[in-house]
Structure 1
């Protein structure tokens, strides 16, 4: 059974590659939508300022508040996703080590890593994202940031507990037929989703075109899916490679002559 340190190194490598892939994906597909959303927000802010007779002052203040250009922000996006991938990969390695102790020893590192990545996507991305879909940066009231963060953390906690519940249901029904077990797990996840929708709604109204908002949310969910898919695939592939190296080479021994 592998120790935690090799799994941690494996998770860091997989997380860095997953973060890089996600950052490039977001840079190529999501950033144009973000730029569009930023322009719309600036136009809306300027319109509100002109209505209050503060157009020139607001423009000067906004100019001084923009510390980084969009190019620097694009570079920072990739760096941020790589750093986030490293942190997520380290956590993935630790959780994999814990799950590895309780799993069937006959299951290989590839299906185990992909299963864990799928569970992580459902718990940390899909379920919270269904309750609180992503919105472009800069959209919303800055005074409600703390409330929105708390709501998101509550949704993540419920998602993690819900996936753990579904995992326990699947384990306890391991001796039942596959359709019954799958239906029970699906019902558990539906119940968790119902609990998520008891949380309060997003306190802000998202004043962007519906098409832009829909495209941004789809691409945000796709970026999360890519992150978890690359993380699980690279982690599993590194596990297969480590397993093949651990198998000792069997060399045929030369026959020994027996004394007559």
Structure 2
């Protein structure tokens, strides 16, 4: 894949990330922000003392323009990184077309980058979590992300190496079992922070908030996979068809990355 194609895919990835970020913003505003307000109300009602001074940024601004700006910037950056990963994956993970590869990348990314770490260290609303362990919890979450991604890559490599001897189906099952076992060991050995929910905090509110954050990420990754897959297919398939047609050979629907 030449540098011009990579650049075009990068631009399309950033555009798809912007669209995905806008949709995630809507989901976050509708589902998560009301729960954040409830959590903040609980925190203020149970504060041991009054905090002096006024807020530098109002809660209304945080939940609208602030939230939107942050999610959109994140979406563009996320789309660019995902597009570069797509350039590497295209033609290397099986005989999938551009759109199918984008959806496969989005689904795998959602699982490895968010769902697996989330199950060990789920998101917490305000008032939940000990402030003294914040840095440790943040570091461990990102460690879990790194481990999950590395293990997912390792599972893909293992599956490809086992395929000639076991067949694609059995090799996929073996690679999946390896990933699940390795993740289970990481869950077992890494510390947990499940006892940091304050007394009296609504279990229903905590559960709804965590489901909402999962919905936000699912929206982001799914929208990116659908939009970027369409944009990538429009870029890659006509070129591949024209190049093959000029040589008189049979058209191929799947471009091969070099």
Partner of 1:43: 45
Following TM superposition, by how much is the alpha carbon of 1:203 offset from its aligned partner in structure 2, in angstroms? 7.7
Following TM superposition, by how much is the alpha carbon of 1:93 offset from its aligned partner in structure 2, in angstroms? 1.2
Q: Say whether 1:231 aligns with 2:221.
A: no
Partner of 1:206: 197
Following TM superposition, by how much is the alpha carbon of 1:35 offset from its aligned partner in structure 2, in angstroms? 0.7
Contact 2:43–2:126 (8 Å) recurs in 1:
no
Following TM superposition, by how much is the alpha carbon of 1:16 offset from its aligned partner in structure 2, in angstroms? 0.6
Return the TM-score normalized by structure 2: 0.84
Following TM superposition, by how much is the alpha carbon of 1:144 offset from its aligned partner in structure 2, in angstroms? 2.4
The number of aligned residues is: 237
Partner of 1:31: 33
Unmatched runs of 5 consecutive residues or more in structure 2:
246-258
Indicate which of 150, 160, 171 corresponds to 1:161. 150
Following TM superposition, by how much is the alpha carbon of 1:178 offset from its aligned partner in structure 2, in angstroms? 4.4
1:88-167 to 2 correspondences below 5 Å:
88-100=78-90, 102-104=92-94, 106-167=95-156
Contact 2:12–2:231 (8 Å) recurs in 1:
yes
Unmatched runs of 5 consecutive residues or more in structure 1:
50-57, 251-260
Instruction: Summarize deviations over 1:67-86 as a string: whole Å, max 9, x none.
Output: 22222011211211111111
Contact 1:141–1:204 (8 Å) recurs in 2:
no
SS in 2 for 1:102: coil
1: CA distance between counterparts of 2:79 and 2:98?
15
Following TM superposition, by how much is the alpha carbon of 1:97 offset from its aligned partner in structure 2, in angstroms? 1.4
Contact 1:144–1:203 (8 Å) recurs in 2:
no
2: CA distance between counterparts of 1:138 and 1:18?
29
Partner of 1:70: 59
RMSD, matched Cα? 2.2
Following TM superposition, by how much is the alpha carbon of 1:169 offset from its aligned partner in structure 2, in angstroms? 2.1
After the TM superposition, which parts of structure 1 deviate over 4 Å for at least 4 consecutive aligned residues?
247-250
1: CA distance between counterparts of 2:158 and 2:171?
8
Following TM superposition, by how much is the alpha carbon of 1:154 offset from its aligned partner in structure 2, in angstroms? 0.9
Instruction: Summarize deviations over 1:204-223 as a string: whole Å, max 9, x none.
Output: 60222111111111111121
Contact 1:158–1:192 (8 Å) recurs in 2:
no
Contact 1:15–1:89 (8 Å) recurs in 2:
yes
Following TM superposition, by how much is the alpha carbon of 1:183 offset from its aligned partner in structure 2, in angstroms? 2.1
2: CA distance between counterparts of 1:137 and 1:236?
36
SS in 1 for 2:10: helix
